C-alpha cells in the first residue's frame, strides 16, 4: 500500500527516539521497573524469513512458526531454532494483505493477524485461523472492526487503528494498537476467537513512548510481553484487573534494531526477531 515518504520514515524516527529516551515514562499507571532478563544473540532465521513479522510457539521443542510481512507469499514456516526450516505450510490463495503477527491457542490452531493498517483506511481487517496438524488445513476468517473508528482514514492526530500485535488467551484474542499519530497511546482490544464478523471491544489504553510491534503471553498466563522499538514491556496479568494496572517491567533492547516478533518459549524465556531475521534470546535471571 503506497504511503507518503514521511510515513515511510516514521518507524526510523520513532526507533531512534525510543533509544534516546531510554525507559518508558510513567503516565499515571505505575512505574516500570527494570526487568531482570539477560539478552544474547541466537543467530538468524532462514533466508526466506528475512522479513519475519510474527512468531508463535510450535509443538516441537525449540520450534516456532513464523511468516513474512505484507505482500510476501501466504505461507507459514515451521522453524527449529535458530535457523532450520522443517515445514512450509502454503495457504494460497489466502491473501497476505498485511500479515503482522501470529499466535496459537491451546488446541494448536494458529491465528494470523492480517490487520496491518499503515494508512488507517482498511475496511477488511481479518484474523485467519488454521490447524497446521490437518493434512489439508482449513482456513476460517475472523473479520472485525474497531468500535471507535468513524473515518477511513481519520485525521492524522487520531490515526491509532494500525495493529501489529496480538495473542490468544482463554478463547479471546487480545489486540494492541500501533499508534501512528505520534502520541504513542497503546489501545488494548479484545475479540472472540471464533469465525464470523465482530466488533472489537476496547478494554484499556496506556501511553508509552514507542510503538508496539508484537505480543505474547507466557504459558502460565501470568505475564504479557509487548514488544516495542528498543525494548520489551512485561505486564503481570491478574484476575479481575485491567492489564495495564498490574505490575510493570521493561527490558531495553538497544542492539536488536527494529524488532518485529516475540514469543515465550517457556515462562521465563522469550525469543525476539527483528526485520533482518536476527534472533535474540531473553532469559530471566535467577
- Pick from 183, 67, 64: nearest CA to 116: 67
Task: Give 4-24 pLDDT, tens digit per residue.
Answer: 444 455 455 455 545 444 556
- CATH class of the domain at 5-284: mainly beta
User: What is the share, in percent, of the chain residues with pLDDT greater than 70?
Assistant: 90
**pLDDT given at position 4:** 45
pTM value?
0.91
Lowest mean pLDDT among 145-154, 170-179, 270-279: 270-279
48 pLDDT tier (thresholds 50, 70, 90): confident
With vertex at residue 121, the alpha carbon angle to CA 70 and CA 19, rounded to the nearest 5 degrees, is 60
**pLDDT given at position 129:** 98
User: What is the share, in percent, of the chain residues with pLDDT greater than 90?
Assistant: 71
Q: Which whole-number Å values give the CA distances from 71 to 51, 56, 74, 116, 185, in the listed order?
A: 11, 20, 8, 11, 27
Ordered by start, the domain boundaries in the chain are 5-284
Per-residue pLDDT at 61 exceeds 90: no
Task: Give 112-139 pLDDT, tens digit per residue.
Answer: 999 999 999 999 999 999 999 887 789 9
Q: 61 is written with which cell numbers?
A: 521443542
Interatomic CA distance for residues 283 and 1, integer angstroms = 37
**pLDDT given at position 286:** 81
Q: Which residue has the higher pLDDT, 31 or 22?
A: 31
Amino acid at each position: 500500500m503506497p504511503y507518503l515518504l514521511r510515513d515511510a520514515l516514521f518507524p526510523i524516527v520513532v526507533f531512534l527516539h525510543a533509544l534516546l529516551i531510554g525507559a518508558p515514562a510513567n503516565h499515571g499507571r505505575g512505574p516500570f521497573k527494570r526487568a531482570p532478563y539477560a539478552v544474547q544473540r541466537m543467530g538468524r532465521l532462514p533466508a526466506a524469513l528475512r522479513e519475519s513479522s510474527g512468531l508463535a510457539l510450535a509443538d516441537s521443542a525449540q520450534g516456532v512458526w513464523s511468516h513474512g510481512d505484507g505482500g510476501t507469499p501466504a505461507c507459514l514456516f515451521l522453524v527449529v531454532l535458530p535457523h532450520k526450516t522443517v515445514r512450509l505450510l502454503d495457504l494460497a490463495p489466502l491473501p497476505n494483505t498485511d500479515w503482522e503477527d501470529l499466535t496459537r491457542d491451546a488446541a494448536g490452531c494458529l491465528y494470523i493477524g492480517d490487520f496491518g493498517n499503515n494508512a488507517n483506511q482498511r475496511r477488511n481487517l481479518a484474523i485467519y485461523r488454521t490447524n497446521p496438524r490437518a493434512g489439508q488445513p482449513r482456513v476460517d476468517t475472523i473479520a472485525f472492526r474497531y468500535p471507535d473508528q468513524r473515518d477511513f482514514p481519520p485525521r492524522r492526530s487520531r490515526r491509532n487503528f494500525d495493529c501489529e500485535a496480538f495473542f490468544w488467551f482463554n478463547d479471546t484474542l487480545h489486540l494492541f494498537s500501533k499508534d501512528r499519530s505520534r502520541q504513542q497511546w497503546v489501545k488494548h482490544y479484545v475479540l472472540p476467537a471464533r469465525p464470523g464478523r465482530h466488533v472489537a471491544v476496547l478494554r484499556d489504553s496506556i501511553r508509552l513512548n514507542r510503538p508496539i510491534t508484537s505480543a505474547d503471553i507466557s504459558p502460565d498466563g501470568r505475564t504479557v510481553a509487548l514488544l516495542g522499538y528498543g525494548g520489551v514491556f512485561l505486564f503481570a496479568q491478574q484476575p479481575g484487573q485491567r492489564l495495564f494496572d498490574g505490575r510493570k517491567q521493561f527490558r531495553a533492547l538497544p542492539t536488536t534494531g527494529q524488532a518485529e516478533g516475540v514469543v515465550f518459549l517457556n515462562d521465563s524465556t522469550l525469543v525476539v526477531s527483528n526485520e533482518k531475521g536476527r534472533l535474540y534470546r531473553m532469559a530471566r535471571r535467577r
